[in-house]
Amino acid sequence: MAGPGFAPTHGRGSAHRMVTDRIGFSLMGRVTERRRTLRIRDGAVSSRADTLVAEEPLEIRLNGKPLAITMRTPGDDFALAAGFLVSEGVIAGGDEVRSIVYCAGATADGVNTYNVVDVQLAPGVVVPDITLERNVYTTSSCGLCGKASLDAVRTSTRHPVGEAPPVRLTPELLAALPDRLRAAQKVFDRTGGLHAAALFSEAGELLDVREDVGRHNAVDKLVGRALTDGRLPLSRAVLLVSGRASFELAQKAVMAGIPVLAAVSAPSSLAVDLAAESGLTLVGFLRGGSMNVYAGEHRIALEAEAGRD
C-alpha cells in the first residue's frame, strides 16, 4: 500500500508537479526537533531546550526494488529521489518518471514514518545494470564517495556541460552569491546545523535553494525539483554550495547539465579533475571578493589577464 505521491502530467508545455497536500505539512514539522541541553556560559549553568536539525534515513526504491538509503533532513523527499536518479544516470527528464510515492511503513503506534519512497519509471526506460547491482548506504556527510570514475560520469551524462550555451560571469557577480545564499537559509538560522545549495541565474538571481543535513542531498533536492518542473538541463545556471566541493557534487552538477559549480570552501583534487575533463567551471574559496577558479576559466569574464600563469 502506498502513501501520498507524485505523478507527472503529460502534454506540450506541461510542468511535472509534486503533490504535497497533507504530507507537505507533516514533513515540515520534522525538519527540526527539540532536545534538552545543558548550557554552560562563563561558568553559569542552565538547562534549556535546543532546536536541532532532524536527521532520518530515507530508503529509495526503483521500480519496487531497494536501491539506496541516505541520511537526510525530511522534506522534499520526492525531489531528493528524482535528483539522486539524475546523478546516477538513470533518468534525465520528468517524462521518464511515471510516479513517485511514499511506501506504507508504520511505527508501533501505527504512524507512517514516510521514510521509504518508490520511484516507478515510465514504460520503456531502461535501468543501467550497474544501478541495480549496487545497493548503497549513504551518510549525511558523504553520498556515493568514490563510486564513479571520471570516465563513467563523462560517458553517462545526457546533458554535457561542455556543450552548454555560453555563460559568462564576472567575479563581482560570483562574489555576491554567498551572501544571497546565506540570507535564504531559514532553517540554518534556527539550528546552525544545515548545509545549503542554491541555483542562481547567470544574472545572479536566486532561482531555488534547499537545506539539508547532507550537502549532496541539498543538491539532489534542487536537481529533482528542476526535473519535475521540466527545467533540465540547467544549462544557464550556477550551483553554489555552502561547504566544500567534492567529486560527488561536481558529478551531480555535470549530470544535471549545470555549467558552473561554486563553493565557499575548497574543492577536492578529484572534483578538479572531473571539472577539467567535463568542461565544468569550478570555483572554490568563494569568500568576500576573492575566489579560486580551478577549471573552466573561460566562463569567467576578466577585465585584465595580468597575473595569470
**List of domains in the chain:** 2-28+55-146 (3.10.20.10), 161-299 (3.40.140.10)
The CA distance from 153 to 235, in Å, is: 17
Distance set, CA 239 to CA 44, 198, 211, 220 (Å)? 43, 6, 13, 12
Amino acid letter for position 9: T
Determine contact, residues 94/85, Cβ cutoff 8 Å.
no
pLDDT at 192: 65
pLDDT at 231: 96
What is residue 281's three-state secondary structure? Answer: strand
Other Cβ atoms within 10 Å of 134 Cβ, number: 13
pLDDT at 137: 53
pLDDT at 4: 61
Q: Which of 2, 7, 142, 175 is catalytic?
A: 142
- pTM assigned to the model: 0.84
The CA distance from 96 to 272, in Å, is: 31
- The C-alpha cell of 210 is what? 534547499
For the chain, give the mean pLDDT: 83
Determine contact, residues 29/54, Cβ cutoff 8 Å.
no
**Residue 142 among the catalytic residues:** yes
Instruction: List the strands of the sheet with 65-72, edge to edge.
Output: 2-6, 97-103, 116-121, 56-62, 65-72, 136-138
The CA distance from 131 to 110, in Å, is: 33
Q: What are phi and psi of 30, to 5 degrees?
A: -100, 0
How many CA atoms within 13 Å lie on the side-chain side of 105?
12
For 128-184, write each residue's pLDDT tens digit: 875 555 555 554 455 444 444 566 666 578 889 988 788 999 999 999 999 999 898
Distance set, CA 231 to CA 17, 133, 227, 228, 247 (Å)? 12, 30, 6, 8, 24
The CA distance from 141 to 201, in Å, is: 27
Q: List the end-to-end C-alpha distance of the chain, in Å, as a whole number.
A: 62
User: Which pLDDT tens digits describe the chain residue by residue (309 residues)?
Assistant: 456 666 654 433 333 333 332 333 334 447 778 889 898 999 999 998 888 878 899 999 999 999 999 999 999 999 999 999 999 999 999 999 999 999 976 666 767 789 999 999 999 999 887 555 555 555 445 544 444 456 666 657 888 998 878 899 999 999 999 999 989 877 655 666 688 999 999 999 999 999 999 999 999 999 999 999 999 999 999 999 999 999 999 999 999 999 999 999 999 999 999 999 999 999 999 998 999 999 999 999 987 654 555
Amino acid letter for position 305: E
For 101-132, write each residue's pLDDT tens digit: 999 766 667 677 899 999 999 999 998 875 55
The contacts of residue 166 (CB under 8 Å, 6+ apart) are: 299
Determine contact, residues 53/213, Cβ cutoff 8 Å.
yes
